[in-house]
Amino acid sequence: MSHSLPTQIWPSEFVQRYQQAGYWRGETFGAMLRQRAEQYPDRVAVVGGAQRLTYADLDKQASAIAAGLLQKGLKKGDRVIVHLPNIPEFISAIFGLFRAGLIPLYALPAHRITEIEHFAKTGGAKAYLCADNHGGFDYRDLAAELKQRYPELQDIVVVGDAGDYTPFADLLQTAVPSDFPVNVSSPQDVAFLQISGGSTGLSKLIPRTHDDYIYTLRESARICGLDDTSIFLGALPLAHNFPMSSPGFMGTLYAGGRVVLSPSPSAEDCFSLIEQERVTFTSLVPPLLLLWLEAVGRSTPDLSTLKVIQVGGAKLIPEVAKRVHPTLGVTLQQVFGMAEGLVNYTRLGDDLDTIVETQGFPISPDDEILLVDDHDKPVAPGEAGHLLTRGPYTIRAYYNNPSANERSFTADGYYRTGDIVRLTDAGYLVVQGRAGDHINRAGEKISAEEIEDHLLANPQVFDAAVVSIPDEYLGERSCAFVIAKGEQKPRAIDLKKWVRERGVAEFKVPDQIIFVDAFTATAAGKISRKALRAQLQAQLHTQLSQS
């Protein structure tokens, strides 16, 4: 398996086009932080827990972390798994990695050994950076297990009580030579690896470059009206592409604003931070928005500084969207994006109908959108079709995954998003559904195939098919149809425990398990798993609508 990073992602004629259009300006993350630190040395950049880091602090920490990691023997281009909750160290660590030319590979706090092992192996990671203990889970245990399963791992760095591992605090103490470089990367180098929720099998790795990502930050900041007075509340996990870059914490730092980190996205934690820190905007997934809308009726938080709430990651129902302004007194912005690239925003000045009913339009005039039928033929104007896209910040291939690339990209480089979309007369996108077999559970994407594989590994399971089921709060939840092996059916609770104990993120454990004796006659036999899932899904919807 080759582990070298791609050196060029877009064909040369596109590179030229995007540079000439002024999208790619040769910026890098290492230099960007230094420029902000020179411009706003004493301004607070990041607030989290008891810490308040100025831009100068952040810049200094980034250099110390970079120097410390290089001293430990890591080399430019090495991948480092970043597995941290919403704490300031998340931000200083990734800027430290950028400064050293090391490549962060972002994992979600909910990920467990199975996912982390997969990231380590597919990404060819050299180091793992984690918290000590967070949310009742000891990440040092995971680190120990990872080292066993993946002996190529050279370094383990822990924020907090590091036990046998390298304390993150030690890196911060590294003496930095005066000629230590601010940046060692080319703008078109891969800056980091994002992960996709993925519809088939395990998450795929998404290589994003400095130039392409910084373009999205600059434009997202402009579209969302950010400047150096903006204060962003990081409520969703920072590793998600949405709170990272749409415009998220990175876009806020690009604009010279301030990032406030919340330990959880709950209304309780977030409302008090909004009051104390005079937060001006934040990003949420639809189920959290619902909780916030309900919480406001129970308390009287002072949300007067909050101007915009962005909602994305999963479809927002218009009825809920309509309640945002009257209940919270803020402007709603819908965001439809993907870690692979394309991001759409409703614009802040759009009329209410547009904000409530659509998912906006792309960042870039050069985001190419195609809506096609099942045979890749364009659909008639106004009709819904599979969304394909290509543009100055949408990847052309996943990292180290030829079979996914075959499926997910067309010959001329369009990414198959898996979403079914229609365009309004004004050119706004409306998400109608999706073609891919994943469950969008409160914005977390779960691959049906991945969970089926875990269930099939159980000796009491003969066959399994996982589908989504509408859920009042989560939008969708997961439902596994299971055919047991032999007479004795396992208990649903034991099967859930089985999946959990395979070491996967809790959100992937099936919410519901339905035992069946067989998949229906037409479904049995040679039809595809995709068709089987579609059939079970339809069956489930009929049952639900009749009950």
Residues lying near ligand DBH in the complex (CB under 6 A): 241-242, 245-246, 312-313, 335, 337-339, 343, 443
Stretch that binds ligand AMP, among 207-215, 256-264, 272-280, 416-424 (CB under 6 A): 416-424
The CB-of-338 to ligand DBH minimum distance in angstroms stands at 5
Say if residues 344 and 361 touch (Cβ distance below 8 Å). yes
Say if residues 395 and 208 touch (Cβ distance below 8 Å). yes
Angstrom distance (rounded) from CA 15 to CA 17: 5
When asked if residue 444 is in the footprint of ligand AMP (CB under 6 A), the reply is no
Segments of 174-312 assigned E as strands = 190-195, 205-209, 231-234, 258-261, 281-284, 308-312
Of 68 and 337, the one with the shorter C-beta distance to ligand AMP is: 337
Binding letters toward ligand AMP, positions 284-313, x by CB under 6 A? ----------------------------xx
**Contacts to ligand AMP from residues 157-216, by CB under 6 A:** 196-197
The CB-of-120 to ligand DBH minimum distance in angstroms stands at 22
The CB-of-394 to ligand AMP minimum distance in angstroms stands at 11
Helices (H), 177-224: 210-223
| Locus of tokens 């607070």 | 44
Residue nearest to ligand AMP (CB): 197
Say if residues 52 and 44 touch (Cβ distance below 8 Å). yes
456 phi and psi angles, rounded to 5 deg = -65, -20
When CB distances are held under 5 to 8 angstroms depending on the partner's kind, the choice from ligand AMP, ligand DBH, none that residue 10 binds is none
Distance of CA 148 to the CA centre of its chain: 28
User: Hey, which residues does 47 pair with through a beta bridge?
Assistant: 52, 260
User: Hey, which residues does 304 pair with through a beta bridge?
Assistant: none
Among 431, 442, 464, 499, indicate the residue that binds ligand AMP (CB under 6 A).
431
The CB-of-192 to ligand AMP minimum distance in angstroms stands at 14
Distance of CA 161 to the CA centre of its chain: 27
Per-residue buried b or exposed e for 304-326, using 16+ beta carbons within 10 Å of the residue's own CB? eebbbbbbbbbbbeeebbbebee
When CB distances are held under 5 to 8 angstroms depending on the partner's kind, the choice from ligand AMP, ligand DBH, none that residue 431 binds is ligand AMP
When asked if residue 44 is in the footprint of ligand AMP (CB under 6 A), the reply is no
Taking alpha carbons only, the member of 197, 198, 115, 200 closest to residue 529 is 200
Taking alpha carbons only, the member of 237, 238, 263, 262 closest to residue 250 is 238
Among 77, 88, 109, 337, indicate the residue that binds ligand AMP (CB under 6 A).
337
Binding letters toward ligand AMP, positions 221-260, x by CB under 6 A? --------------------x-------------------
Catalog residues that contact ligand AMP under the rule CB under 6 A: 196-197, 241, 312-315, 334-340, 359, 417-419, 431, 434, 440, 445
